[in-house]
Structure formats: C-alpha cells, structure tokens
Amino acid sequence: MGLFSSFGADHTEAITIDVRPLARKVDEVTSSVDRTTGAVVAMEAAVIAQEKRSAKQICENVNYGFYSLITSQISQKLAVHENAANSKLALMQSISKKIHEILLTAQVDYQRISRRYIETFRTLDKNLKNRITELNKPAVNLSEKKKSLIFKSTTKNVASAICYAKESLPASQMFINAELKKHANMALDSLSGTMEEEKDYESKMKPILCDGALETPAMEYVPVVVSEAESLHQQDSNVWNVTLPEDGRLKERGTITTTCLESARNASWDNSSEEKRNALFEAMTALPEFASLNPRIAEEVKKMFAASDLQSWVTGGNT
C-alpha cells in the first residue's frame, strides 16, 4: 500500500539510497581524526622532550655562569690582596732601607763621638799622670829604681841565652823541616786527588763530548720543558706552558714556543716498554752528576725510578 492509498490509487515506488559517499566521508573524517590525534601525541612528546632539554641546558648554563662568577670574584679578590701585599711589602722595604740608613748614620756618629771622647780621656789621663808624678815625685823615683833592679837580672843572662840558642838551633831546624814536609805531603795528596777527579770526570764526559769543529752545518737541539696545568679561570680546560733556556743567543724563541705547543696539542702519552725503561735507567746512572751523588741519595733515586710508571710522549706515531 502506497502513501496515497486513501485516494484509491497505488503509488508504491522503490527508492534506492547510495550511502557509499557518506561512508567514504566518514572514513576520511575518521582517518583525519586519527592523524590529528597522532600529531597531537607526537607534538606533546616533542614538547616534553624539548622542555627537558631546555631545562637541562638552562641548569648547565646557570651552573657554569655561577662557577665563572665565583672564579672571577676569587680572581679579583686575589688580585686586590696581591696588590695590597705588594704595596705593603714595598713600603716595608722602603722603611727597612731608611732604618738601615739611620743605623749606619748612628754608627758613624757613635764612632766619631767615641774617638773624640777617647782622645779627651787620654789627654786627661796623661795630665793626671803628670800631676800625680809631680805630687809624689819621691815615690815615683823609688819605683823606677826598684823596677830597674827587678829586670836587671833578666838582662844579665842575655849572653847565656844566645849560647843556649846555638845548641837548640839544629833541633828547631829539624822541627821546621818536619812541618814543611808535612804541609808539602798534604799539598801533594790534594793535588793528586784533584788530578784523579779531573781524569775520572774527563773519562765520563768523553763519550758525550765532540772534539774539534764542525765542517758542515748540523742540527742543534734546544732543551724545552712543556707543562700542562688545570686552568683556574675556565672549568674543564688546561693551560700549556713552554719553558726555554735563558740564553741571549736563542733568537727564535717565538717559533720554538709555537712549534712545541702545536706538537703538545697533537701528542698523547703511551706506556713505555721495558726496553726503553732499561735504556733510560742506564743513561741516568751513567751521568757524571749521578756518580757524584751521595750513595744514600743515589739509592733513593733508583727506588723512585723503579716504583714510577714511565710513559713516553708520542707525536704523530713517533716517540
């Protein structure tokens, strides 16, 4: 029965509705929603990770900034205290110099005044002696005569003393000769020991010295000390120092320093072999300075060498 059956006519119709476009739209909307959900989740994870990285970086920057600030403040305080100490030291040195000058002036004045008073007292003593002599002239004359009687017996024996000296002269000469021989033997022993030491030193230095002049130009090596120390101004960094001999003939100091620093930055440390340790030990014990050491000190040096971990400096594959 159709919709208009009440009017006596049959209008029944078959209607077919295609829902596939709607389904496709629903599928597309669902896919878009899923992709949006995934993008939101990924963005949320990325935001969280970025926030963690940002927080870590901020903390590191804050820590490094605080460390740099404290280091700078300490350096400034050290500089202030150092300047104060240097100024006070200079002031103390100046005061010490002035005090020393005052002391020298006082000593000179004391010597001058003491000489003047000594002459005055000597004059007074002489005048007093003359006055006492004039006041007690009889007693003084008696003492002079008594003194001559006392010492007269000594002057009487002058001839006998000369005769006795003639008899004792050979013995005195023998004593003098014996003393001269003793000093001569000591001098000869000292010279002999000195010559032996020089000969021994020459024999030890001969293997490392070159006699004569060089006919062709040759390479010369300059001893250089390269040291590495932790920096006081920057965290996790080191400072390289190059020390050269203080010699005015060394003209290429800047070139040598730059070359050594470049080699030091490209170098590495490597454990030395037993063969190298033995060779270095033999070279150390063969030095003349080592032979002149006290036996106890030399033995202690050997113990320290044996207990140390020896490493070689490797630059570009060469030690």
How does pLDDT run across 74-128, given as a tens digit for each residue? 988 888 888 888 888 888 988 998 998 898 888 888 888 888 888 888 888 888 8
Q: Inform me whether the pLDDT recorded for 63 exceeds 60.
A: yes
pTM: 0.26
User: Could you tell me if residue 183 is inside a domain?
Assistant: yes
Distances (CA, A) of 312 to 19, 235, 277, 280, 309: 85, 27, 10, 11, 10
Q: Range of 261's domain?
A: 223-265
Residues 248, 196 share a domain: no
How does pLDDT run across 253-272, given as a tens digit for each residue? 788 888 888 887 777 777 77
User: Could you tell me if residue 313 is inside a domain?
Assistant: yes
Residues 56, 29 share a domain: yes
User: Could you tell me if residue 6 is inside a domain?
Assistant: no
Other Cβ atoms less than 10 A from the Cβ of 276: the count is: 13
C-alpha 308/C-alpha 301 separation (Å) is 11
Q: How many domains does the chain have?
A: 4
User: Could you tell me if residue 144 is inside a domain?
Assistant: no
pLDDT for res 284? 83
User: Could you tell me if residue 19 is inside a domain?
Assistant: no
User: Could you tell me if residue 259 is inside a domain?
Assistant: yes
Half-sphere exposure of 281 (CA within 13 A, CB side): 18
User: Could you tell me if residue 59 is inside a domain?
Assistant: yes
**140: confidence class by pLDDT, cuts 50, 70, 90:** confident
The chain-wide mean pLDDT, for the chain, equals 77
Residues 304, 256 share a domain: no
Q: Inform me whether the pLDDT recorded for 150 exceeds 70.
A: no
Residues 272, 260 share a domain: no
